[in-house]
Amino acid sequence: MKAHECYHCGQWIAKGEAHDCWTTTEAALTQDLSVDLKEAWERLRETAVEFGEQRIYASHNSIMFSRKSCYFFVRPKRSYLEVCVFLGRTVKAPQVRKVVESSKTKRVHILRITHRDEVEAPITDWLQEAYDVSETLSGSRRSSRSAARGTRGKGRSSPRS
């Protein structure tokens, strides 16, 4: 095999050539944004940093904000920032373009930000709420059925004697 096409990004990779299309940086994802979108991005990031300890990292096309698990992420697009916020409830508001059930306890709320002035309440309140509830929604709790059996989802417990 002399070359192959990366099934993620479509780039042709020569034999023996290093390729990692998943590794990226915040700077790489935000470098081509308009001035308005860069200012909106900076305000979003500053707001999230004020919440407390967390990990902020770039992954493929998104910039993730997480504690134990991701509580929101941003996908920079050409004309807007797609902000996806994980909450334990469904929010109905004009800013929310779509809500998707991502698990039994989490709903991802998809927002579009086009200007710095949009990064204010209620959006900042939802980000704070997502940060606050992220550890309780992260699925670290055992189900009552597995707790009764004494397992943690690692298969079946040993037969009773």
Only one residue has tokens 């990004």, namely 9
Largest CA distance in the chain: 69
Domain count for the chain, please give it.
1
- Domain that residue 110 falls in: 22-137
- DSSP assigned state of 21: T
Residue 13 in any domain: the answer is no
H and E: helices and strands count for the chain: 4, 8
- Domain assignment present for residue 153? The answer is no
Distance of CA 124 to the CA centre of its chain: 16
CA-nearest of 50, 19, 69, 17 to 8 is 19
In angstroms, the Cα distances linking 31 to 24, 34, 108, 114 are: 12, 9, 26, 16
Residue 161 placed within a domain = no
pLDDT at 25: 86
86 C-beta neighbours (distance < 10 Å), count: 25
pLDDT at 145: 44
Would residue 17 count as lying in a domain? Answer: no
Domain presence at residue 42: yes
> pLDDT tens across 10-34, in order?
778 888 777 766 667 899 899 999 9
Q: Identify which of 127, 32, 46, 53 has the alpha carbon closest to the alpha carbon of residue 83.
A: 127
Stretches where the chain sits below pLDDT 70 are 1, 7-8, 20-23, 139-161
- The pLDDT value recorded for residue 6 is 76
Of 135, 153, 136, the C-alpha closest to 144 is 153
Output the CA angle 6-11-12, nearest 5 degrees: 85
Residue 36 within a domain: yes
Please indicate, yes or no, if residue 95 is contained in any of the structural domains.
yes
